Chain A
Amino acid sequence: MASSESRALGFHLSIAVLACVPGLILVSDMLYSRLGPDPGEVVTKSLGMAAFQLLLATLCLTPLRKLTGWPGWLRVRRMLGLFSFCYAALHVLAFFQFIIGWQDLWSSFTRRPYIIFGLIAFVIMVPLAATSSKAMMRRLGKRWKVLHRGVYIVAVSAWVHFLWQARSDVGEMLAYGFLLLFLLVARVIWSSAFKRRFVSGVQ
């Protein structure tokens, strides 16, 4: 079915373009000097936020598939996850370059709680990104699924990483927190173990 295939390709491409938008905005702001007097800080923050938002978008795909029944959502999951990882990696580099200037690495990672949570999130992302290929999926078999549940730890750590930095107004991070909570609770409710225990298990 060529038409549905091309439709899937079109969807894939448009999601890819959307995922590029935060990066493109940054590049254009850079070229037009719209980043303000402390550009390093703006770049670091924007990259981190893009990584977090794309991670949440990735976590939305399974619930979207359940709700709409359309399997197409899952086809962009790996790509979105990898986009999130790319932004996170650039964010970490930007943090080293612009915020701490490659100094005091040890104390940054041992004494600043918000950085510790960011680090946890990123470190767990690395093996997930590395094992995202189809070949690795086949090789790891059942263990792949278990390993990739690590994404939930990534999401929660990343959220704490942001919340901890909110110095006085936590409104925005509470909103993200509710979204994340919804995405996690939905998975628990849809999980087969939960259904066995609480839905079909009730006689």
Chain B
Amino acid sequence: MIIKKRPAWSLPHSQVTPESVFLNRRRFMTGALAATAALALPGYGAAGSLPVPGEMLKYKKMPDWSTDEGLTPYEDATSYNNFYEFGTDKGDPKRYASALKTAPWTVTVEGECSKGGEYALEDILKPHDYQERIYRLRCVEAWSMVVPWIGVPLADLLTQFEPTPRARYVYFETLFEPEQMRGQRSAFSTIDWPYREGLRMDEAMNELSFMAVGLYGKTLPNQNGGPMRLVVPWKYGFKSIKSIVKIRFQETRPKTTWELIAPSEYGFYANVNPEVDHPRWSQKRERRLPSGLFSVNWMDTQKFNGYGDQVAQLYRGMDLKRFF
């Protein structure tokens, strides 16, 4: 098993959170919260620590893998998104995601790999150093954000399970826990829970594919898919499955949630593509958020969300209008 290990000393000193900032915010912590933080303290700074929402993470900036476009403010990125497990309104995830228990968190790894099993999340994160990658996030609904994700390259995370040559696809599943996720309790939902997503193995192994455990330097808030979510920046946002509890390597192409609901609208690939129209939204342009009321922040949508140099070769020879 080869896991790329970046030496800890390669981290520039400028990346370290100033001690005063760290101590200051700790002063606000009381009671049980302080106890939890104390438990997390030995892990502070060390990659692989148990993610506690809002906890500062140590990471290495990856300018080569980051856009220099202006970041969407933290407040907007964490209060306005789709996470139907908590409701269909964009404000629902933040409103209701506190019911989600992210620790302890178990990830089941199965299928065509030699190291399958049930893992505690911190154990599969431990061997890796965190990176920060600032990616564009393009929703199929024609809005977009720029988010600094913290996490590990998906390839590094998956390689440790030693997928066999028969693994041609990787399948992911979100937690199914109606008690914690009120959207899953709705009797009128057309989604057959749990939420499912998948990638072709070469897509998953592409250097851009990322498994995020944080954003803006902190661990993922529940509403953004805590404690661990996928980030595939050249595909529409719904491919980037949240709160993952299952990873399965398989030989056949998995059926994904949106494909199951409306195959004419959502394909397996779901690559960002202004040339392929969606029955609900024109994909030629996008509103970069935050957008104003009197000056809508329109932007032309780029093919592969602007990541064509890194990923276009994955689809050479494929008719992207057919395999949308």
Binding site for B on A (CB under 8 A): 30, 35-41, 43, 97-101, 103-104, 107-108, 111-114, 165-171, 174
- What 6 new A-B contacts, CB under 8 Å, besides A103-B282, A167-B88? A35-B293, A38-B287, A101-B298, A113-B279, A165-B280, A169-B189
Q: How far is the CA of A107 from the CA of B292 in the complex (A)?
A: 25
CB distance from A171 to the nearest CB of B (A): 3
CB distance from A167 to the nearest CB of B (A): 7
On whether the beta carbons of A39 and B293 are closer than 8 Å, the reply is yes
The answer, yes or no, to whether B183 is at the interface (CB within 8 Å) is yes
The list of the 9 closest CB pairs from A to B, nearest first, reads: A171-B188, A37-B76, A37-B290, A37-B289, A39-B293, A169-B88, A169-B189, A168-B191, A170-B188
How large, as a class, is the contact surface on chain B? 35 or more
Q: Quick one: given A35-B293, A38-B143, A40-B287, are A168 and B282 in contact (CB under 8 Å)?
A: no
On whether the beta carbons of A38 and B80 are closer than 8 Å, the reply is yes
Q: How far is the CA of A166 from the CA of B190 in the complex (A)?
A: 10
Residues of A within 8 Å of B292, CB to CB, are 39
Q: How far is the CA of A111 from the CA of B281 in the complex (A)?
A: 10
Could you show 23 A-B contacts with beta carbons less than 8 Å apart? A36-B90, A36-B91, A37-B73, A37-B79, A40-B287, A40-B296, A43-B293, A99-B142, A101-B285, A101-B296, A101-B298, A103-B284, A111-B279, A112-B279, A167-B88, A167-B261, A168-B190, A168-B261, A169-B87, A169-B88, A169-B189, A169-B190, A171-B187
Q: How far is the CA of A43 from the CA of B291 in the complex (A)?
A: 13
Binding site for A on B (CB under 8 A): 72-73, 76, 79-80, 84, 87-88, 90-91, 142-143, 145, 183, 186-191, 261, 277, 279-280, 282, 284-285, 287, 289-293, 296, 298
Q: How far is the CA of A31 from the CA of B103 in the complex (A)?
A: 40
On whether the beta carbons of B282 and A104 are closer than 8 Å, the reply is yes
Residue on A with the closest CB to B265? A167
On whether the beta carbons of A36 and B76 are closer than 8 Å, the reply is yes
Q: How far is the CA of A101 from the CA of B73 in the complex (A)?
A: 24
Residue on B with the closest CB to A171? B188
